[in-house]
Amino acid sequence: MSSTTFSGPVTSTAGFVGAVTGTLTGTAIVTTYTVANAPSAATAGAGSVVFVSNGAAGAAILAFSDGTNWKRSDTGATIAAA
């Protein structure tokens, strides 16, 4: 497998596949959604991360997919707008 070095942000329209090796440095940018327009957690796959602008009872939160639902990163509860 080859290696490529980037000096700016990397964007993918279809997600990234494979394990990350090495050290992640800099800023990680995740896509922002609302509870209503978040993609399927099952389709995104377990371990995927999104920013949900209203997922913590109306407040912003990072959320991760458990393969079935988007879970709040602070409590592990399923995201909800209210």
51 domain-assigned = yes
Range of the domain at 45: 32-72
22 domain-assigned = no
- Which residues of the chain register pLDDT less than 70? 1-2, 11-12, 14-21, 24
β-partners of residue 52 are 33, 61
Q: How many separate domains does the chain show?
A: 1
- pLDDT tens digits, residue range 45-65? 999 999 999 999 999 999 999
53 domain-assigned = yes
Q: Chain-centre distance of CA 38, in angstroms?
A: 10
Locus of tokens 């377990």: 46
Q: Structure pTM?
A: 0.70
Q: Chain-centre distance of CA 62, in angstroms?
A: 7
